[in-house]
Amino acid sequence: MNPFNSLGLRHDGRTLWVLDQTQLPDAEVWLDGSDPDAMIALIQRLAVRGAPLIGVAAAASLATFAHRGASASEYAAACAALRAARPTAVNLMWAMDRMKGAADPVREAQAIFEEDVRLCEGMAQHGAALIQDGEGLLTHCNTGGLATAGIGTALGVIRRAHEQGKRIHVYADETRPLLQGGRLTTWELEKMGIPATLITDSMAALLLRDGKVQRVLVGSDRVAANGDFANKVGTYGLAVQARFHGVPFHPVAPISTVDLACPTGAAIPIEERDPAEVRGYGQLRWAPLAIPAWNPSFDITPVDLLTSLVLDRGVFSAAELQSGVLAKVCG
Ligand code: MRU
C-alpha cells in the first residue's frame, strides 16, 4: 500500500496506525489498527472516532487485511463486522459498501482517504465564506483533523476562516460525557493557534444571551433527506438555544454523511452507550454505582432549527433542504 498520513491516521505501507484519541491531550500514543477485529474495538471505545474518520479507518484496515492475504470469505465477514461497529455515523456504512464491491480494496481505501481530504476542503471553502471578521464561534464535540482524514468539518471551516486572517474567537463545549470538546478540540485549537475558550455544555446559553457568539458550527453523523441531522448529544439543545437568541446555526458535513434512505431524522438509529460513561470518567466515578443512567450518544436536530447546512458542494438553507434539495445535490 502507498503510505498516507493524517492527524489521527497513518499508514507506513505495511501497518495502519491510529492515534489513540482516548489518551489525548496527555499522551500521543499510536496503536496498530491493521487487523479488522482490532479496528472494531478501537472504533467502539472511541480511540478512533468522528463520522468521516471511522469510515476512512475501517476502509484502511480492511485494505490492509486484504493486502496481507485475507480470503474472500474472511474479507466479506470483516467488512460486515466493521460496518456494524457503530450505528449512527453513516460514513462507516458508506465506506464499507464501497469496500464490499471494490475490485481493488487497496486502491479503494486510498481513494476513500483522498476523497475525504477533498471533501473537507470543499466544506472549508463554502463554510469560511459565511464567517465575518470578529465573530465569536461556538462549536460542540470534535470535528477537526482528528475526526476526518483532512482538516475537518465544522472545525475545518473555523480553521480556514482563521487562515484567511479573520479575527475569530472559538468557544469549545467540553461535550459530556466523553469530553471530545474538552480533550480533543482544545488540543487541535492550541496546535493551530486559534484563540479559544473552553466551556462546559451548560454554559452555552449564557454565552449566547450575552452576545459573545455570532455563529454556531457543528458536525454531523448523519443527515436525513429532509435536512434533519444527527450529531453528538447536546447539539439539539444548542440549536434550540441558538434559535431563541437569534444566532445562526450551521451543521457542516460532507456528502458521505448524507443518507437519502432516511426520509427524516426519525429514521436515524441512535447509539446508546454504557451508562457507566455518565456516572464517571476514566478512573473517577461521582455517582452511586447502581443509579440508573441514560447515555444516548447522539441527538436529532430538526431541519427547522437550521440556518443552513454547509456541504462540500455548497450552502443550503433550511427552506431549500425542506424542499428536497439534497436528493438533487447528492442523489
Ligand atoms: O462519538 P463521536 O466522538 O464519534 O462523535 C463525533 C461527532 O458527533 C462529530 O460531531 C461528528 O462525527 C461529525 S465530525 C466530523
Give the pLDDT confidence of 194-218 residue by residue, as tens digits: 999 999 999 999 999 999 999 999 9
Active site residues: 221
Report pLDDT for 285: 98
Does 331 score more than 90 pLDDT?
A: no
Pocket flag, ligand 1, residue 176 (CB < 6 Å): no
Predicted structure pTM score: 0.98
Q: Can you name the CATH fold of 4-119?
A: Four Helix Bundle (Hemerythrin (Met), subunit A) (1.20.120)
Phi, psi for 156 (deg, rounded to 5)? -65, -40
How far apart (Å, rounded) are the C-alpha atoms in residues 213 and 136? 4
Q: Whose CA is nearest to atom 6 of ligand 1?
A: 50
Provide the residue type at 87 as one letter.
P
Does 130 score more than 90 pLDDT?
A: yes
Tell me the per-residue pLDDT of 296-311, one tens digit each, with 9 for 90 and over.
999 999 999 999 999 9
Are 316 and 323 in contact by the 8 Å Cβ rule? The answer is no
Report pLDDT for 281: 96
Pocket flag, ligand 1, residue 50 (CB < 6 Å): yes
pLDDT tier, 1 (very low <50, low <70, confident <90, very high otherwise): confident
Tell me the per-residue pLDDT of 149-160, one tens digit each, with 9 for 90 and over.
999 999 999 999
Tell me the per-residue pLDDT of 50-92, one tens digit each, with 9 for 90 and over.
999 999 999 999 999 999 999 999 999 999 999 999 999 999 9
Question: Alpha carbon of 158 to those of 91, 121, 271: distances in Å?
Answer: 22, 12, 28
Provide the residue type at 116 as one letter.
D
Does 126 score more than 90 pLDDT?
A: yes
Closest ligand 1 atom to residue 54 Cα is 4
Pocket flag, ligand 1, residue 175 (CB < 6 Å): no
Does 255 score more than 90 pLDDT?
A: yes
Report pLDDT for 2: 87
Closest ligand 1 atom to residue 53 Cα is 15
Closest ligand 1 atom to residue 52 Cα is 15
How far apart (Å, rounded) are the C-alpha atoms in residues 99 and 109? 7
Does 98 score more than 90 pLDDT?
A: yes
How far apart (Å, rounded) are the C-alpha atoms in residues 56 and 173? 26
Report pLDDT for 269: 98
Enumerate the domain spans of the chain. Answer: 4-119, 125-330
Q: Identify which of 114, 82, 86 has the alpha carbon closest to the alpha carbon of residue 97.
A: 82
Overall CATH class of domain 125-330: alpha beta
Q: Which three cell numbers stand for residue 49?
A: 472516532
Report pLDDT for 154: 99
Tell me the per-residue pLDDT of 166-200, one tens digit each, with 9 for 90 and over.
999 999 999 999 999 999 999 999 999 999 999 99
Q: How many CB atoms lie within 10 A of CB 100?
A: 15
